[in-house]
Structure 1
Amino acid sequence: MKKLTVRLDEDDYNLLVEQCKILECTQNQFFRELLRKSLATDIEEYNTTLKEIFKTLKIASNNLNQIAKKSHYSNDVEAIKKELNELWQSLKE
């Protein structure tokens, strides 16, 4: 085995200790797991998911704005209810 020395400032060290307590592991085990897991892949997947969420949110916002505009210009409550229902259905997917 090889020995590795890591220098951490007080805040980072406290964070390491806290994480090790939560995970019930040693600092060595913690670093080994970090190395074995592909953090770059996790971050890439996170970013992709976040982009999809923002896209869905933008679509929902646009739909809501269209409904608000129509409600100001018409009194067709049934059409507004239908559009709101469609919006909720798209958000559930």
Structure 2
Amino acid sequence: MVKVIWIYKVNDPLNDFLERQINAADLQGSEFEKLSIDEHPELIEEYEIEKTHTLVFFDREGDRIANYDGPFNSKELEESIKVMNFFDYVANYNGEES
């Protein structure tokens, strides 16, 4: 399972649209969190944020996998989560069936 953090800027006109996209997306059991760069400016450097509305993906170990920079829609979010879940599964597969 991957964790996704949405890094956004307070009072950005796209926030309402993106919030609707998140609510419409099938997050497939992924953990989802949102953090404001206004309240947490250290995130810009920590996660190499280049644009507002960045999604930061983490694997089950808490290591950052990737960033998705810029606005997104529900389908892009769903596809990104599918890809990240696949890579997380492959990276942690040990050849045993549970």
Compute the TM-score of the two structures, normalised by the length of structure 2: 0.29
Larger radius of gyration: 1
- TM-score computed with the length of structure 1 as normaliser: 0.30
